[in-house]
Structure 1
Amino acid sequence: MSGYSDNPFINNTPSSSPQKPRDGNRVLKRPFGSSSSSSLLSSPSRQSRTAGSIVYADRFIPNRTGIDLNTLASIGSSASLPPPGPSSTDDQVELQKEIQAHETFDAVLKNELFGEKLVRDAVGKESSIDRIKNTRSSAIDFLGGSNNTVQDSSLFDEEHPDSAPATPRRILPSNDEYRRPSSNSLRGASLLTYTGSNGTRPSTVSLMQSQIFDSMSPVRPDSEKFLLSPGRKFRQIVKIPYRVLDAPSLADDFYYDLVDWSSTDMLAVALGKSIFLTDNASGDVVHLCDTENEYTSLSWVGAGSHLAIGQANGLVEIYDVVKRKCIRTLSGHKDRVACLSWNNHILTSGSRDRRILHRDVRVPDSFFERIETHSQEVCGLKWNPESNKLASGGNDNMVYVYDGTSRSPVLKFEEHTAAVKALAWSPHKRGILASGGGTADRKLKTWNVNTGFKVNEVDTGSQVCNMIWSKNTDEIVTSHGYSRYNLTLWDYPTMNPVAILKGHSFRVLHLTLSADGTTVVSGAGDETLRYWKIFDKPKAKVKPDSVIFGSFGQIR
């Protein structure tokens, strides 16, 4: 029998077509003269074919296979989408919307077929089937209860929840002209129904009833109410910038950091050999200074009154923005200054000469501490003033963490396989550091510097050029270069992509956050600055009038 395959439908196919019955019933007549009567009454199966005798099957009955079991299991389970892969950068919001659409379709389909609750949420929340069940009372109120008769007290029979699936009970109008046959009502279907005809003109109430209960309605009333009810609300993120500014001569260099936003709502941008200040409130633009060299980095002091500027010749200048005057010039580096970071009165600079210099702007010395940990250019520096820790990233793919201004690092992370420029400390959880790798790495990693272990890791699919940790929400914004020139919003600690912001046509190298924490400004090699409204303002916390009475109220 090698001619048969493993398909059960092929194995159970009769050898020839059965004869047509004359009396219209479903039983097929068999030719007489068979050697065994038991073979005529048996189900179709593999039988030996003998010359001169033909055996017909009474009907086609396929074998039960694993496909039937999978179908049965899918009926009792809720619809879901496969989780995104490790390198997927699909928006989490769009993914959740698609999942909700699948769940809605799954719930309505099961309600139309079975009319009963099949699944419950494991966390105790209201499922889609539960929402269909709860629409009964709203449908009754809509019809105006006085002109309608509810034939049963529930859409679902829950007297014996552990027994076999119960028959759904329908809400039917009292008019005879819209009465359904009992068999259709019992089956819970709304497709095969009929209406009686009489010589009277239907009333307005009857017409309203017919919109929901008559046979022309495509779905059951509870399903229709469920489809019209509002679904889950998702966070709305505007994916286009609300402002785009031309930034001619904005350098397209991975190691430069040329955009920073002050606490006084002043944006500083280095364009070629000039620096400009933009007041976000008024929109005024001020030309601050020029240089004969090239500006490579800049950073505002916490108070927003002074701006530190790094140059390609290794010098660091500090400008008083009120007086628009350079008040100090600090030496010490032999090559370009790629990164700057403030910790109160301490200014730390990193350079291509592989050195990190700590400078106290209150003393006349140019620097008081020199660190030579990295073997290549220092391209990332970020202070965490709350814990007094410094993180540095270099072109040697290393990340170091220092306690204060100590010369030796307390931690070393060497998992990245490309230059680490993007660094950010969590403003919500103490001791959490995020780092991003370059083109050959593309990884976004988070570390717990208190324990020294990695918390999470995700493949962004592109070069990580810069990074910001939001002050208002526990989310991270990364800007990317080769080969996806976009911004990505990540949820922490799940590290799911919440939104992808597109618009730049070159590497998004520069990134900064507004003073109120709501707006992100990105700068790219396409010589544009784009303003993205991503976050909402945090809600003001109501403080108790007295610490003692406030604590007493919490105890009560």
Structure 2
Amino acid sequence: MSGFPENPFMNNTPSSSPSKSVDGNRVLKRPLGNNSSSSLLSSPSRRARTSGSVIYGDRFIPNRTSIDLNSMKSIGNTASVPTLIPSVTEDQVELQRERQSRETFDTVLKNELFGEKLLRDAIGKESSIDRIKNTKPAIPCYQSAAATASVEYEEDMPTTPPDSDERPQSAPVTPRRALPQGPEESYRPSSNSMRGASLLTYRERTGTRPSTTSILQSHFFDSASPVRPESKQLLLSPGKKFRQIAKIPYRVLDAPSLADDFYYDLIDWSSTDVLAVALGKSIFLTDNNTGDVIHLCDTENGFTSLRWVGAGSHLAVGQTDGLVEIYDVIKRKCIRTLSGHMDRVACLTWNNHILSSGSRDRSILHRDVRAPDSFFERIETHSQEVCGLKWNPETNKLASGGNDNVVHVYDGTIKTPMFSFNEHTAAVKAMAWSPHKRGVLATGGGTADRKLKVWNTITGSKLCDVDTGSQVCNMVWSNNTDEIVTSHGYSRYNLTVWDYQTMDPVAILKGHSFRVLHMTLSADGTTVVSGAGDETLRYWKIFGKVKAKTNPNSIIFSSLNQIR
């Protein structure tokens, strides 16, 4: 057993409620004390307002008595809002959420300030919210700041030439500082029907304090909303729904002695929902339906690669001495040993009854498991170790990647490649065929390259090229959605979900502390298991299940299916 217990995997999944202690009491997150520093972290209490002081949040909302010109300029000009630029280090979903929240905030704030004027100039049944969304931002021009707090509004001057008959739509109004007309005018409150909403109005100070009855009436019996009806409708309307991807794995298992070698491929998920893992000199099978862990075999040499046959009944295993063994998982014994390689077997791939293997001896061997010979074809097109190998059974095409930075595409078992791609500048181990588009291949380069490239193997052209910012160690192409999952090494140690249509990072999954070298996809296409040099296996729920297609209720189609 090579020093392993019967079940080497230890469940190390984090608790769903880490804020609770063992005895059920919630852990205090704020220190208690009487000094000033601890009191700031304690429960909030009402503090007396200081005359003339203003507490600002992340955004400044001007009031009627002191208008900050810079803030008004930023409110009037949408172009001044910082642009959120997508990056390979940020989730596209999170960026879209933040962008939507910023747009909603700006729209509501502009409507509260300029809503009455926009409604007055509205054409037809267009609301002030629609006017704000459909109007291009204009840079406001302000007059001298030496004026008082009374604010008036004027329309922007038309930009249409004098000889033009068309009149441009009015843009958001420009606030203009005006001189006071009297000693009482500067302290006169603005009403809802004149300037802005009740949220931004103020009242004169009176000598008498309002009674409790009047306060209750204002709170419970006043039907006036603190914001305009259009703003309230925008805030209550459902926003755009974004895809929910869990950022933490739902299951974490300890995997002692899981090799931290870029050229190894030590985990694979079968079509019968059994996960095979090579730990040191032993191989274990984990049945995800029952949770049972089965010890399959041991070896004196180390395991370097493994791959399930399509039916999930047999497992091919590569070793450091160049031998390839085939195990019957039902009988739990080796039924065949195949020779031919002179060095370690770094990659294995099946095409029905054809098993292909790539080795550090720079060769690719094609083996027919029905024939008595160990192999029937040897291909030597790479100048260094073959570390990536993937069959596409639908098109009968084979792709190979090597430590010589070259990607070859073969038509079946023919020795001469159809296409050779030399654009990578590092070893190519990560490879995946698209299950959605015929002949589309994705490849990923190592530390010196860091590129994710997609090729059309029918025409030999490159479709896209993305800099991932980190070493690409492995990848899978989702069967349920048109998305690619890549695992990374130096120096990000994460998983990235890419939308193939836009090549934007949909989600970035962090958790591993070493290179994520091993990765595989579940049989139903919903879960990705990643293995890293930190000796852990992490289960990520990324994709949803494919909806069952309903058969057409047609006599013609049903008869055609019966004929076929």
Name the TM-score, length of structure 2 as normaliser: 0.71
Q: Across the two proteins, how many residue pairs are aligned to each other?
A: 434
1:353 matched to 2:365? The reply is no
| Cα pair 2:487 2:493 within 8 Å, conserved | yes
| Cα pair 2:116 2:194 within 8 Å, conserved | no
Task: Report the Cα distance in structure 1 between the residues aligned to 2:387 and 2:220, rounded to whole angstroms.
Answer: 71
Which residue of structure 1 lines up, in the alignment, with residue 489 of structure 2?
481
Task: Report the Cα distance in structure 2 between the residues aligned to 1:233 and 1:425, rounded to whole angstroms.
Answer: 30
2:94 partner letter: E
Which residue of structure 1 lines up, in the alignment, with residue 515 of structure 2?
507
Which residue of structure 1 lines up, in the alignment, with residue 322 of structure 2?
314
- Find the residue that maps to 2:115 and give its secondary structure: coil
Task: Report the Cα distance in structure 2 between the residues aligned to 1:92 and 1:360, rounded to whole angstroms.
Answer: 45
Name the TM-score, length of structure 1 as normaliser: 0.71
Which residue of structure 2 lines up, in the alignment, with residue 108 of structure 1?
108
Question: Which structure 2 segments of 5+ residues have no match?
Answer: 1-68, 119-125, 134-165, 174-187
Which residue of structure 1 lines up, in the alignment, with residue 89 of structure 2?
89
Alpha carbons of structure 1 residues 452 and 82: separation in structure 2 relative to 1, 3 Å: same
Task: Report the Cα distance in structure 1 between the residues aligned to 2:274 and 2:385, rounded to whole angstroms.
Answer: 30
Alignment of structure 1 residues 369-380 onto 2, 5 Å: 369-380=377-388
Tell me by how many angstroms 1:448 deviates. Answer: 1.1
| Cα pair 2:128 2:230 within 8 Å, conserved | no
Tell me by how many angstroms 1:194 deviates. Answer: 6.3
- Find the residue that maps to 2:222 and give its secondary structure: helix
Tell me by how many angstroms 1:542 deviates. Answer: 0.7
| Cα pair 2:75 2:110 within 8 Å, conserved | no
Give the structure with higher Rg (CA): 1
| Cα pair 1:212 1:221 within 8 Å, conserved | no
| Cα pair 1:456 1:493 within 8 Å, conserved | no
1:105 partner letter: F
Which residue of structure 2 lines up, in the alignment, with residue 527 of structure 1?
535
Alignment of structure 1 residues 286-297 onto 2, 5 Å: 286-297=294-305
- Find the residue that maps to 2:253 and give its secondary structure: strand
Task: Report the Cα distance in structure 2 between the residues aligned to 1:318 and 1:540, rounded to whole angstroms.
Answer: 35
| Cα pair 2:132 2:172 within 8 Å, conserved | no
Alpha carbons of structure 1 residues 293 and 545: separation in structure 2 relative to 1, 3 Å: same
Alpha carbons of structure 1 residues 299 and 223: separation in structure 2 relative to 1, 3 Å: same
Task: Report the Cα distance in structure 2 between the residues aligned to 1:182 and 1:73, rounded to whole angstroms.
Answer: 20
In angstroms, what is the RMSD of aligned CA positions?
A: 3.4
Alignment of structure 1 residues 513-552 onto 2, 5 Å: 513-546=521-554, 548=556
Which residue of structure 2 lines up, in the alignment, with residue 122 of structure 1?
none
1:451 matched to 2:425? The reply is no
Alpha carbons of structure 1 residues 127 and 540: separation in structure 2 relative to 1, 3 Å: farther
Partner of residue 263 from structure 2, selected from 255, 264, 270: 255
Which residue of structure 2 lines up, in the alignment, with residue 494 of structure 1?
502
Alpha carbons of structure 1 residues 112 and 474: separation in structure 2 relative to 1, 3 Å: same
Task: Report the Cα distance in structure 1 between the residues aligned to 2:464 and 2:528, rounded to whole angstroms.
Answer: 24
CA deviation vs aligned residue, 1:386-417 (integer Å, no higher than 9, x gap) = 11111000000000101111100001111111
- Find the residue that maps to 1:508 and give its secondary structure: coil
- Find the residue that maps to 1:115 and give its secondary structure: helix
Partner of residue 224 from structure 2, selected from 212, 217, 223: 212
Alignment of structure 1 residues 424-439 onto 2, 5 Å: 424-439=432-447
Tell me by how many angstroms 1:228 deviates. Answer: 3.2
Task: Report the Cα distance in structure 2 between the residues aligned to 1:260 and 1:527, rounded to whole angstroms.
Answer: 16
Which residue of structure 1 lines up, in the alignment, with residue 20 of structure 2?
none
| Cα pair 1:79 1:103 within 8 Å, conserved | no
1:333 matched to 2:335? The reply is no
- Find the residue that maps to 1:212 and give its secondary structure: coil
Tell me by how many angstroms 1:117 deviates. Answer: 11
Task: Report the Cα distance in structure 2 between the residues aligned to 1:405 and 1:128, rounded to whole angstroms.
Answer: 67
Which protein has greater RCO, CA pairs closer than 8 Å, 6+ apart?
A: 2
Task: Report the Cα distance in structure 2 between the residues aligned to 1:181 and 1:501, rounded to whole angstroms.
Answer: 53
Partner of residue 413 from structure 1, selected from 415, 421, 424: 421
Alignment of structure 1 residues 98-137 onto 2, 5 Å: 98-115=98-115, 129-130=129-130
Task: Report the Cα distance in structure 2 between the residues aligned to 1:212 and 1:393, rounded to whole angstroms.
Answer: 69
Which residue of structure 1 lines up, in the alignment, with residue 403 of structure 2?
395
Task: Report the Cα distance in structure 2 between the residues aligned to 1:108 and 1:245, rounded to whole angstroms.
Answer: 48
Which residue of structure 1 lines up, in the alignment, with residue 25 of structure 2?
none
CA deviation vs aligned residue, 1:155-194 (integer Å, no higher than 9, x gap) = xxxxx99654699xxxxxxxxxxxx999751434433366
Tell me by how many angstroms 1:356 deviates. Answer: 0.4
Task: Report the Cα distance in structure 1 between the residues aligned to 2:270 and 2:335, rounded to whole angstroms.
Answer: 18
Tell me by how many angstroms 1:223 deviates. Answer: 1.4
1:329 partner letter: T
1:83 partner letter: I
Alignment of structure 1 residues 147-166 onto 2, 5 Å: 163-164=169-170
CA deviation vs aligned residue, 1:91-125 (integer Å, no higher than 9, x gap) = 1111111101111111112211222798xxxxxxx
Which residue of structure 1 lines up, in the alignment, with residue 241 of structure 2?
233
Tell me by how many angstroms 1:210 deviates. Answer: 2.7
Which residue of structure 2 lines up, in the alignment, with residue 31 of structure 1?
none
Task: Report the Cα distance in structure 1 between the residues aligned to 2:306 and 2:393, rounded to whole angstroms.
Answer: 18
Alpha carbons of structure 1 residues 115 and 209: separation in structure 2 relative to 1, 3 Å: farther
| Cα pair 1:466 1:478 within 8 Å, conserved | yes
Which residue of structure 1 lines up, in the alignment, with residue 374 of structure 2?
366
| Cα pair 1:269 1:277 within 8 Å, conserved | yes
| Cα pair 2:519 2:531 within 8 Å, conserved | yes
Alpha carbons of structure 1 residues 181 and 436: separation in structure 2 relative to 1, 3 Å: same
Task: Report the Cα distance in structure 1 between the residues aligned to 2:74 and 2:261, rounded to whole angstroms.
Answer: 59
Greater Cα shift, 186-195 or 300-309? 186-195
Alpha carbons of structure 1 residues 401 and 224: separation in structure 2 relative to 1, 3 Å: same
Task: Report the Cα distance in structure 2 between the residues aligned to 1:243 and 1:468, rounded to whole angstroms.
Answer: 20
Task: Report the Cα distance in structure 1 between the residues aligned to 2:265 and 2:351, rounded to whole angstroms.
Answer: 18
Task: Report the Cα distance in structure 2 between the residues aligned to 1:295 and 1:427, rounded to whole angstroms.
Answer: 29
- Runs of 4+ in structure 1 off by over 4 angstroms are 70-74, 76-80, 160-163, 180-184, 193-199, 201-209, 549-552
Alignment of structure 1 residues 462-473 onto 2, 5 Å: 462-473=470-481
Task: Report the Cα distance in structure 1 between the residues aligned to 2:323 and 2:554, rounded to whole angstroms.
Answer: 51
Task: Report the Cα distance in structure 1 between the residues aligned to 2:555 and 2:427, rounded to whole angstroms.
Answer: 49
- Find the residue that maps to 1:112 and give its secondary structure: helix
Tell me by how many angstroms 1:79 deviates. Answer: 6.0
Alpha carbons of structure 1 residues 244 and 192: separation in structure 2 relative to 1, 3 Å: closer
| Cα pair 1:519 1:534 within 8 Å, conserved | yes
2:106 partner letter: D
Greater Cα shift, 224-233 or 423-432? 224-233
Alignment of structure 1 residues 31-46 onto 2, 5 Å: none
1:302 matched to 2:304? The reply is no
Matched residues, percent identical? 75
CA deviation vs aligned residue, 1:71-90 (integer Å, no higher than 9, x gap) = 699647796724235xx320
Task: Report the Cα distance in structure 2 between the residues aligned to 1:78 and 1:550, rounded to whole angstroms.
Answer: 61
1:192 matched to 2:201? The reply is yes
CA deviation vs aligned residue, 1:127-178 (integer Å, no higher than 9, x gap) = 9934999xxxxxxxxxxxxxxxxxxxxxxxxxx99654699xxxxxxxxxxx
Task: Report the Cα distance in structure 1 between the residues aligned to 2:171 and 2:94, rounded to whole angstroms.
Answer: 35
